[in-house]
Structure 1
Amino acid sequence: MNFKVYKFFLLLILIPTTAFAQSGEGLDKQINDAFMPFALWWEKLIFTNIPLGQAQVPLVLILLLSGALFFTIYFRFVNVRLFTTAIQVVRGTFDKFEKQEGNQGEVNHFQALATAVSGTVGLGNISMVAVAISIGGPGATFWMILAGLLGMSSKFVECTLGVRYRDIDTQGKVFGGPMYYLSRGLKEKGYKNFGKILAILFALLCVGASFGGGNAFQTNQAASQIITQFGIQSEASGSMIGIVFAICVGIVIIGGIKRIAKVTEKVVPFMAILYTAAALFIIVSNITLVDDAIMQIFTDAFTPKATISGGFIGVMIQGFRRAAFSNEAGAGSAAIAHSAVNTKYAASEGLVGLLEPFIDTVLICTMTAIVIIIFNLNGAFVYGDVLNGGALMADGSRLGGINLTSMAFESAIPGASYALVFAVILFAFSTILSWSYYGLQAWKYLFGRGKWVDLSYKLLFLLFTILGAAITLDAVIKFSDAMILALVFPNMIGLFFLYPEVKKELDRYLALIRHKKSRT
């Protein structure tokens, strides 16, 4: 590292440390009290409701799910029909065909998937599942799975467009994502100004989402696990853990997408195997209870036990809302990572992208849900009785988010909560890395591609790493949920204009595969 980079890290450490020295004890509380009013205002703005029977349904979820359903039908269930083809693309089965055509990009299919999966497979899979179930009961899992399956089609569309309209500079660096397909794609359709407005709006929201759900939420839950598991009592413990996280993240993100991809392609498989192995062990060890858990998932989806307003509609909203936060299908964020892939065929990466919601929601979130439901078969906590993100436990205490999942693991495997701390740190770290790239790409779209533009964003991003560790779960969920789902508005509007281009790209890629196969 050169001297300027050292100055960057020194400034990062001095700002929160000086604030701590001046404010004395209770730094975490002071940060939270200052942040909460904005989180409440932003959540209310984004989750504007539309009456549906006795329930109030957020407009953003209607837009998200109607789009996902439309794309699933229009592309003839591409999420099922071409699932095996998508796996073959990731494995490199068709790489030789694509290379013959001359590719451009910075990373291969697997690295692009690993980077994007690390952005979606994060603490939302562990913490947000616990939030969804504690609020909406086991039935929320059913709606999470359905949202994940439909979301595969939305992810296919946005990742294909991400490659189709990306920008590659003279040095081979790739700049892509919704900012580019909204501006360039809608310009082709004759909506230049409208596309530019949507692109700028998306970029602004993406920067905010990178600070919130992609960063602050991750460090919040990682810090919560560390503090709870090791009994740390300091009133500034969250801030201090955040500083350590910020330094570790900063070392990686200085290197850009290639270094991020190299780290995530190693970390993502390891963390996924570690977590899923523990979850599967619990499920197999309690195999006689799994059918009871599955039965609750299906029956409670329509006749919930949870005391939640709106009945099954309220449960459905919880499932869809948490799934959207977890897999980000329709939000467009993952298209930024997929745009960097080394390919000439946009639809090839669209197929890779559709695997994300399946891995994230259908597999990992469902396993987490089953573990928590099995844990609660004996009434460990009350479904629906939630205050500030925390479920009411049988002993009268409240436990929320990652700590509820940790207790479920610990009850099944003594000592598992310590292993979960390690998994949580990896999940948080990899997600933060990916979202730093998403946010930086949006930042560059807004302010240019200069060196100091990069450093200014990275400094702000790392300060939010510290902020997230200091504030409460309730505050960070309100802010993070709203920030990520706000991306749906500009992105999904653009997808409705541009989906015919995706059909052309898909037909072109499938024709290549058929042609090359016929000649071998």
Structure 2
Amino acid sequence: MDRFNEILDSIAGVVWGPYVLIPLLLGTGVYMTVRLGGLQFTRTAAALNLGLIRRQDEGASGDVSQYRALATAMAATIGTGNIAGVATAISLGGPGAIFWMWMSGIFGMALKYSESMLAVRFREVDGNGNRNGGPQYYLTKGLRGRFLSPLGVVLAWAFTIFTIIASFGIGNMVQANSMSEAMNDTFSIPDWFTGALVAIITLVVLVGGIKSISSAAARVVPIMIIIFIVAQVWVLAAFVDQIPDAIGAIFTDAFTGSAAAGGFTGAAVIAAIQFGLARGLFSNESGMGSAAIAAGAAQTSHPVRQGLVSMTQTFIDTIILVTLTALVIVVSGAYTQTDAAGEALTGVRLTSAAFNEGLPGNIGGYVVALCLLLFALTTLWGWSYYGERAIERAVGTRAILPFRLVWVVMAFVGATIPLATVWTFADIMNGFMVIPNLIGILILSGLVARETRAYLKFDPKLRATQAEIDEHFADDPDYQQWRTHEKQMDVEAAADRRRQSS
């Protein structure tokens, strides 16, 4: 088993090393940012207004509102990466790793926009009348031609297989294990009890599919974010005089490396880059293609609008939540502390120590445990939808119910067994999901840029109604093709639901 773990570590080191995913992710993010005119800098405010304030496009086709699609994606994304991932990046790469997490977020917003826009642009309807979108669809439908079509099929199948495997790892067992570990360490709750409770709650949520998942996410996600932010701001208020130095250390160490301090052994620049970008993707999933699956179910009047709403997920996750967690860890100096055995703190223990430094009494560990429970539970729900859509694409709708049952069982298993090997394997599968997705985005970048420019020139503030959009793009063949297909899917979906109810 040790030899197997060494092999997995070697593979993960290559996949997440400086020659594969790091340049591919950062390079593609920069490229799409340029092609899209830096829309993450100019359209985020309008996108936040549409997704969080107005929340839906009236009269648009789809299964769930834009807000609920966003909440589902955020449920899957805001998880252990925002608590343990940030701490791991700092403990291994120093404060400078946070700068590179920011880079993954800033340029990742262009990737999140692109994959979500494409998910709506090429989505389909399944036998149950539900909208399906994501890389497994736009890789086959978007890549056309004598040479590109076979490539698209191969990439789509690769993404589908990697998603199914990754969903049971990072989306299921790892999350359940994190919850049981936190509950055991903080409240002495037995692992089997946590596993059983998580399994029962998850079964109830999954019964109704995307509508039930998105409804639960829409209720829980805002609560957990507010709790986490209030605790973070409280700690920062206690160390307000240290914030300028912490920000300075983040920028300086990103390019010079970090000196040893206390229990922290120091880190080279390459470590800051590697762990910052890797943990950044783990946190925001930009470029992975997973959030595009949730976007494919959204009710939206134009693919560009949903792409922009989905883009805000990365902004909230990385630019807001990751930044606050990182500042808490750095200003408190917790990353330089050691435990009773003289070992440097890392992961959840590091984040808990940082919160304990600024919150009254010793409640920091309890707050982190509660947030971890909520974050991991909602991640488990969101990733169940990703895995379900992938298994439906591979096998058909008949596989959905068995998948949900297996998902619930594996959540219990994950909560009750050690998962060191699963963590590494999940990291590898996540990386493998990125590769076919980014290849597809690069090939389809011309279409993404063209349709984005056309729409934003007409409606830069995202306020147009469905009727106004239809009228403006009446002579646009690309839009008319998409709109006609959307209407056909509405008819098919209604027929499927009538057939099921009869």
Percent identity, aligned pairs only, is 35
- CA drift of 1:361 comes to 1.0
The aligned residue for residue 383 of structure 2 is 435
Distance 1:319 1:258 in 2: 35
- Please show how residues 366-405 of structure 1 align to structure 2 within 5 Å: 366-376=323-333, 379-381=336-338, 393=339, 396-397=342-343, 399-405=345-351
Distance 2:93 2:116 in 1: 31
2:74/2:313 contact within 8 Å kept: yes
The aligned residue for residue 279 of structure 1 is 232
- 1:301 counterpart = 2:254: yes
Distance 2:259 2:417 in 1: 31
Amino acid at match of 1:454: I
The aligned residue for residue 90 of structure 1 is 51
Distance 1:189 1:262 in 2: 43
Distance 1:137 1:513 in 2: 43
Counterpart among 204, 209, 217 of residue 264 in structure 1: 217
Name structure 1 gaps, 5 residues minimum. 1-32, 51-55, 382-392
Distance 2:230 2:55 in 1: 30
Amino acid at match of 2:214: A
2:93/2:267 contact within 8 Å kept: no
Distance 1:177 1:49 in 2: 23
Counterpart among 1, 6, 11 of residue 45 in structure 1: 11
Deviation by residue 1:481-517 (Cα, 9 ceiling, x = unmatched): 2221221111001111112221233234325526976
- CA drift of 1:290 comes to 1.3
The aligned residue for residue 75 of structure 1 is 36
- CA drift of 1:249 comes to 0.9
The aligned residue for residue 421 of structure 1 is 369
The aligned residue for residue 319 of structure 1 is 276
- CA drift of 1:463 comes to 3.4
1:253/1:260 contact within 8 Å kept: yes
The aligned residue for residue 195 of structure 2 is 242
Deviation by residue 1:130-169 (Cα, 9 ceiling, x = unmatched): 1111111111111111111110000010000000000024
The aligned residue for residue 207 of structure 2 is 254
The 1:516/1:73 distance shift into structure 2, 3 A limit, reads: closer
Amino acid at match of 2:98: T
The aligned residue for residue 28 of structure 1 is none
SS at 1:463 equivalent:
helix
2:77/2:284 contact within 8 Å kept: yes
- 1:175 counterpart = 2:136: no
Distance 1:75 1:359 in 2: 20
Amino acid at match of 1:132: A
1:175/1:339 contact within 8 Å kept: yes
- CA drift of 1:332 comes to 0.4
More displaced, 306-315 or 257-266?
306-315
SS at 1:105 equivalent:
coil
- Please show how residues 27-66 of structure 1 align to structure 2 within 5 Å: 40-48=6-14, 57-66=18-27
TM-score (norm 1): 0.82
Counterpart among 354, 370, 374 of residue 408 in structure 1: 354
Amino acid at match of 1:439: G
- 1:147 counterpart = 2:104: yes
- 1:199 counterpart = 2:147: no
Distance 1:228 1:201 in 2: 38
1:106/1:172 contact within 8 Å kept: no
Name structure 2 gaps, 5 residues minimum. 469-502
The aligned residue for residue 19 of structure 1 is none
SS at 1:432 equivalent:
helix
Deviation by residue 1:244-290 (Cα, 9 ceiling, x = unmatched): 31222111112100000100001000000000110011001210111
SS at 1:279 equivalent:
helix
SS at 2:233 equivalent:
helix
Distance 1:516 1:469 in 2: 45
Distance 1:417 1:377 in 2: 13
Distance 1:121 1:463 in 2: 23
The aligned residue for residue 29 of structure 1 is none
Distance 1:252 1:38 in 2: 36
Distance 1:92 1:299 in 2: 37
1:47/1:59 contact within 8 Å kept: no
Distance 1:202 1:164 in 2: 18
The 1:458/1:76 distance shift into structure 2, 3 A limit, reads: same
Deviation by residue 1:34-59 (Cα, 9 ceiling, x = unmatched): xx766654443354269xxxxx6141
Counterpart among 61, 64, 85 of residue 104 in structure 1: 61
SS at 1:487 equivalent:
helix
- CA drift of 1:462 comes to 2.5
Distance 1:84 1:281 in 2: 26
The aligned residue for residue 342 of structure 1 is 299
Distance 2:199 2:463 in 1: 48
2:92/2:271 contact within 8 Å kept: no
Distance 1:405 1:380 in 2: 12
SS at 1:187 equivalent:
coil
More displaced, 510-519 or 349-358?
510-519
Distance 2:433 2:349 in 1: 28
Deviation by residue 1:47-93 (Cα, 9 ceiling, x = unmatched): 4269xxxxx61412221111111101111111102112212321465
TM-score (norm 2): 0.85
The 1:337/1:37 distance shift into structure 2, 3 A limit, reads: farther
Deviation by residue 1:148-207 (Cα, 9 ceiling, x = unmatched): 111000001000000000002476411111100011111368622211111111001001
